[in-house]
A and B are shown apart, each in its own frame.
Chain A
Amino acid sequence: MSELLSVKDLVVDFRTRAGNARVLNHISLDLQEGEILGIVGESGCGKSMTALSVMGLIPSPPGNITSGSISLEGLELTSLSSRKMRDIRGNVISMIFQEPMTSLNPVFRIGDQIAESVLLHEKVSKKQAWARAVEMLEKVGIPEPAIRAKAYPHELSGGMRQRVMIGLALACKPRVLIADEPTTALDVTVQAQIFDLLRDLQRDTGTAIILITHDMGAVAELADRVAVMYAGHIIESGSTRDILDNPQHPYTKGLIACVPHLEDTPTDERPYLEEIEGVVPPLTELGSGCAFAPRCQYAMDHCRIEVPVIQPITDRHKVACFKVTEGVSA
């Protein structure tokens, strides 16, 4: 396994009327070939921004990569010309979006849309591109792909459209697939199907996947490794086992406690679902100290003064929390 994508010390700022919002604050991530990395966190914590930075699709203005590097197999993406970046998008890195209902162009046949992606990146005839589209539809489990390729997006259900999106994203055999909350808009049963599909495709093609989600269940099901984000920081990362069985950061613990469990017996008294008090603070109003401190029940004085830096506590498990790291050293 070698390093495919590596994000180092990435800082992204949004200049808004309310002030400067640091949406990504010294983010470091790495993705190995053929692995599934989960990025979890609440809404507005910077998950999608991480994805968009890697894609080079940050809306600019107001967004801007202030510092840091994103390198794909040694190629620095942040300084790449928009033309070179276009060649990479869809070809080496592609992305699937949250809303399958709106991420397909409503006026073109789905086959044409997949074929278009192929035509943009490969020197093939229209006929070959169409054949590839049909093949992709078959791969993502669309019945009667030759007929369905001629369908328009409004003729398909949400689950089918997400399958089409996955087919579209994988049509050029990308090395990295970014799945930005691919199942948030779908039924639970369909969610399971999409996860199975992603896992199978990942196994077949060896594409590395960055799975962005707020659903710990999805992470448990799919991801090899997990990074937990809060207010633009990565506050904990490690293998899925480490994070789920042995969460260190109070926020990660809270996230895991939030997942509802089905009771063993119906007679069990129904426990209250745990929640994390408060909301993610506005990014323009971050003071000094740990961003999670105002919501953290263990917050110490130290936490309100200085921002904790992410540090390894075991081989691959890293945490950014004074309580954990100081507790270890003391």
Chain B
Amino acid sequence: MWFTELLILAFEQETDVSTIEAEKQPTSQSPFREALRAFRQSWAGMLGLIILIAIALFSFVGPMVYGVDPFEIVWAPLTAPGEVATVPLGTDQLGRDMLAGLIHGGASTLFVGLTAGFLTVTIGILVGSMSGYYGGAVDEALMRLTEFFQVLPALLFAMVLVTIFPPSILIISIAIGIVSWPATARLTRAEFMRIRNLEYVNAARSIGAKNNRIIWRVILPNSLAPLIVSATLTIGIAILFEAGLSFLGLGDPNVFSWGMMIGAGREYILDAWWTISLPGFMIFLTVLGFSLVGDGLNDAFNPKLRER
């Protein structure tokens, strides 16, 4: 997956050019590797990546280090952070540990963000590539479908889906994916329409390549740059969307998520600031992290912004 490759590349040691021996041929770099090298020089992208790694560690390693059950009532309700040593970030309105809630909420928030993001990109690329490549009647039909989903009030539609089906975090992710793919589809379609008439596509046809091959092996790899950037931003938007749904009480009641914590604590906003500010801050940080990474990738992939 590109994300793991990005992680590996981001922390790879850069070779010192001056120490390369004269006989050694410089190894060839794919345009993607080159872009990721440029990504490492973008402070915004790297800062975002560090934030995201910190949040991932917090959410996935946290439960092992801090083994408190987030559903367990551990202290008096609405204990302020720092008041009692055993509950460092205080308790919520039911007396549950805030820190444990934040830790466990992170995993489900990230799960929803990534799943919904993945779904958005997958549907978007499938629809957009067919539409952009084949054009004509296929394009017409798929674009009307896209417009149908685009004019649906996203929040209401997602609420309907979540109300009909049991509110598990998977259903929530799917609902978010279904309402947010049109933008990706349009972006993919535009890229396909731009690239399908370029000479290397004709050249691929002239060696006898099939349509499938041209779509997935020739055009898609060349249109990935803006899609990767938009996928990153999509994850941030999906996380906000989940927070919104959970805030409205449409989240999965069996799973902690930051949005749900904010929703549950909203009545105590004047008495206990920490019940909503802390999960709110986590959401802010995560979305900021994804946006910064998206920004860094954009700089890296856009040769006009990249300094040589």
Contact with B along A57-98 (1 / 0, CB 8 A): 100010000000000000000000000001111110011011
B29 in contact with A152 (CB, 8 Å): yes
Bound together, the chains give a CA A98 to CA B202 distance in angstroms of 11
Q: Residue A147 at the B interface, CB < 8 A?
A: yes
Q: Residue B153 at the A interface, CB < 8 A?
A: no
Question: What number of A residues sit within 8 Å (CB to CB) of B?
Answer: 38
Given A107-B31, A152-B31, A155-B28: A55 and B206 interface contact (C-beta under 8 Å)? yes
Q: Residue A253 at the B interface, CB < 8 A?
A: no
Q: Which residues of A contact B208 (CB under 8 A)?
A: 86-91, 117, 120-121
Q: Which residues of A contact B200 (CB under 8 A)?
A: 102-106
Q: Which residues of B contact A147 (CB under 8 A)?
A: 25
Contact with A along B204-223 (1 / 0, CB 8 A): 11111110000001100110
Q: Which residues of B contact A55 (CB under 8 A)?
A: 206
Which residues of A (146-174) have their CB < 8 Å from a CB of B?
Answer: 147, 150-152, 154-155, 165, 168-169, 171-172
Bound together, the chains give a CA A95 to CA B203 distance in angstroms of 8
B31 in contact with A154 (CB, 8 Å): yes
A165 in contact with B203 (CB, 8 Å): yes
B28 in contact with A152 (CB, 8 Å): yes
B210 in contact with A97 (CB, 8 Å): no
Q: Which residues of A contact B157 (CB under 8 A)?
A: none
Interface centre among B29, B203, B210, B217 (most CB of A within 10 A): B203
Given A150-B28, A152-B31: A105 and B218 interface contact (C-beta under 8 Å)? yes
Q: Residue B58 at the A interface, CB < 8 A?
A: no
Q: Residue A15 at the B interface, CB < 8 A?
A: no
Bound together, the chains give a CA A144 to CA B23 distance in angstroms of 13
A102 in contact with B31 (CB, 8 Å): no
B203 in contact with A89 (CB, 8 Å): no
Bound together, the chains give a CA A299 to CA B290 distance in angstroms of 71
Q: Residue B199 at the A interface, CB < 8 A?
A: yes
Report the nearest B residue to A107, measured CB to CB.
B221
Contact with B along A114-152 (1 / 0, CB 8 A): 001100110000000000000000000000100100111
- The B interface is mostly helix, strand or loop, or mixed, namely helix
Bound together, the chains give a CA A254 to CA B198 distance in angstroms of 33
Q: Residue A109 at the B interface, CB < 8 A?
A: yes
B206 in contact with A95 (CB, 8 Å): yes
Report the nearest B residue to A109, measured CB to CB.
B28
Given A57-B202, A57-B205, A94-B207: A105 and B222 interface contact (C-beta under 8 Å)? yes
B31 in contact with A106 (CB, 8 Å): yes
Q: Which residues of A contact B202 (CB under 8 A)?
A: 57, 97, 103
Bound together, the chains give a CA A319 to CA B118 distance in angstroms of 64
Which residues of B (85-111) have their CB < 8 Å from a CB of A?
Answer: none
Bound together, the chains give a CA A212 to CA B209 distance in angstroms of 23
Q: A124 → chain B, closest Cβ, in Å?
A: 15
Q: Residue B30 at the A interface, CB < 8 A?
A: yes
Bound together, the chains give a CA A85 to CA B282 distance in angstroms of 58
A102 in contact with B198 (CB, 8 Å): yes
Q: Residue A33 at the B interface, CB < 8 A?
A: no
Q: Residue A13 at the B interface, CB < 8 A?
A: no
Q: Which residues of B contact A155 (CB under 8 A)?
A: 28
Q: Residue A99 at the B interface, CB < 8 A?
A: yes
Q: Which residues of A contact B209 (CB under 8 A)?
A: 86, 90, 116, 120
Q: Which residues of B contact A109 (CB under 8 A)?
A: 28, 30
Contact with B along A279-318 (1 / 0, CB 8 A): 0000000000000000000000000000000000000000
Report the nearest B residue to A88, measured CB to CB.
B208
Contact with B along A208-223 (1 / 0, CB 8 A): 0000000000000000
Q: Residue B32 at the A interface, CB < 8 A?
A: yes
Q: Which residues of A contact B29 (CB under 8 A)?
A: 152
Which residues of B (199-256) have their CB < 8 Å from a CB of A?
Answer: 199-200, 202-210, 217-218, 221-222
Report the nearest B residue to A92, measured CB to CB.
B208
Bound together, the chains give a CA A174 to CA B221 distance in angstroms of 28
Contact with A along B18-31 (1 / 0, CB 8 A): 00000001011111
Q: B235 → chain A, closest Cβ, in Å?
A: 24
B218 in contact with A90 (CB, 8 Å): no
8 CB < 8 A contacts A-B: A57-B202, A57-B206, A86-B210, A89-B206, A90-B209, A94-B206, A107-B221, A155-B28
Instruction: Give the 4 A-B residue pairs with the shortest CB-CB distance, closest first.
Output: A90-B207, A90-B208, A89-B208, A117-B207
- Sample of 17 more A-B contacts, CB < 8 Å, known A107-B32, A152-B28: A57-B202, A89-B206, A90-B206, A90-B207, A97-B202, A98-B199, A99-B199, A103-B199, A104-B203, A105-B200, A105-B203, A109-B28, A120-B209, A144-B25, A152-B29, A152-B31, A154-B31
